């Protein structure tokens, strides 16, 4: 097992009035998604392990960026396997919690940046002077985009991220499977567990699960600020990515798809 699970005790030691989302009462993003006991958390954690295995040839050889690092769930693993790590997130509360984590674990090779209201050029200037061999973009791009042109906006975003790296350096991208039978099973599982889930009509659930059709759901997307991604379709994203990137590797878990992308030459 390559993935290093951060201790839950660190995440519980935060202000009592903090909750990462209004619709759930769990204290932090990491706790809600990855650190609770049970099979669901184990499944969600799998993409971290897959991403590390896909890039293990880089261990010890380069510095890396974790873009959309949230509250630091992946940072202890990256700190162990790479020279230096930069964790970037748009939410200052996530960066604050990540800072608590890295200080508690003494991860001295991790640097954090909040990129709220910062352009990509500005971010490039804020990065510590280093050469970054990998950029991890995990469970993040589904929150990026514009309702009228979601896929074009996401490709533009990927291109801008690639400029933070050396030309030959890959982007490791993981996205949720929001279409197909795995999506149907996910919704059934959430219903049985009475867990929080975004509302979806039975008609659109069948269209997304059986036909990979999310056109109506895409038009209902309410923007990145609310952190939702119903209507995301990794099949559509992959088709657009192939026009601009080389997919060097691809792997799947039950509920996620992972890509290793390189810029087309």
What's phi and psi for 190, nearest 5 deg? -65, -40
8-176+225-263: CATH topology: Rossmann fold (3.40.50)
What's phi and psi for 220, nearest 5 deg? -95, -5
With contact defined as beta carbons under 8 Å apart, do 172 and 260 qualify? yes
Global confidence as pTM: 0.90
With contact defined as beta carbons under 8 Å apart, do 217 and 204 qualify? yes
* Per-residue pLDDT in tens (0 to 9) along the chain, 265 residues: 999 999 989 888 776 555 565 545 567 889 888 888 877 788 889 999 999 999 999 999 999 999 999 999 999 999 999 999 999 999 999 999 999 999 999 999 999 999 999 999 999 999 998 999 999 999 999 988 777 778 898 999 999 999 999 889 999 999 999 888 888 777 777 777 666 677 888 888 888 788 888 888 877 766 555 556 777 899 999 999 999 999 999 999 988 999 999 988 6
Unique residue bearing structure tokens 């940046």: 113
What's phi and psi for 223, nearest 5 deg? 95, 160
- β-pairing, 256-263 vs 245-252, is antiparallel
Tokens in use for 228?
């939702």
Alpha carbon distances (Å) from 37 to 26, 29, 158, 162, 182: 13, 14, 34, 36, 22
CA distance 259 to 137: 10
With contact defined as beta carbons under 8 Å apart, do 214 and 233 qualify? yes
Question: Ramachandran region of residue 223, left (φ > 0), alpha (ψ -120 to 50) or beta?
Answer: left
Q: What are the beta bridge partners of residue 257?
A: 175, 252
């Amino acid at each position: 097992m390559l993935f290093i699970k951060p201790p839950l005790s660190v995440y519980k030691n935060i202000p009592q009035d903090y909750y990462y989302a209004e619709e759930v009462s769990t204290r932090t993003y990491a706790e809600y998604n990855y650190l609770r006991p049970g099979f669901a958390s184990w499944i969600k954690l799998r993409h971290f392990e897959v991403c590390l295995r896909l890039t293990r040839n880089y261990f010890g050889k380069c510095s890396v960026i974790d873009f959309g690092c949230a509250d630091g769930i992946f940072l202890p693993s990256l700190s162990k396997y790479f020279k230096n790590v930069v964790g970037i997130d748009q939410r200052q509360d996530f960066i604050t919690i990540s800072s608590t984590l890295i200080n508690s674990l003494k991860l001295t090779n991790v640097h954090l940046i909040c990129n709220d209201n910062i352009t990509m050029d500005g971010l490039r200037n804020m990065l510590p002077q280093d050469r970054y061999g990998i950029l991890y973009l995990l469970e993040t791009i589904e929150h990026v985009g514009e309702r009228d042109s979601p896929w074009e906006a996401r490709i533009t975003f990927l291109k801008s991220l690639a400029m933070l790296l050396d030309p030959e350096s890959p982007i490791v991208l993981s996205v949720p499977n929001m279409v197909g039978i795995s999506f149907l099973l996910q919704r059934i599982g959430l219903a049985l567990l009475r867990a929080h889930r975004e509302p979806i009509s039975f008609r659109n659930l069948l269209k997304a699960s059986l036909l990979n059709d999310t056109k109506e759901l895409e038009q209902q997307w309410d923007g990145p600020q609310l952190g939702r991604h119903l209507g995301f379709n990794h099949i559509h994203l992959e088709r657009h990515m192939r026009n601009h990137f080389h997919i060097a590797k691809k792997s799947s878990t039950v509920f996620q798809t992972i890509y290793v992308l390189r810029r087309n030459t």
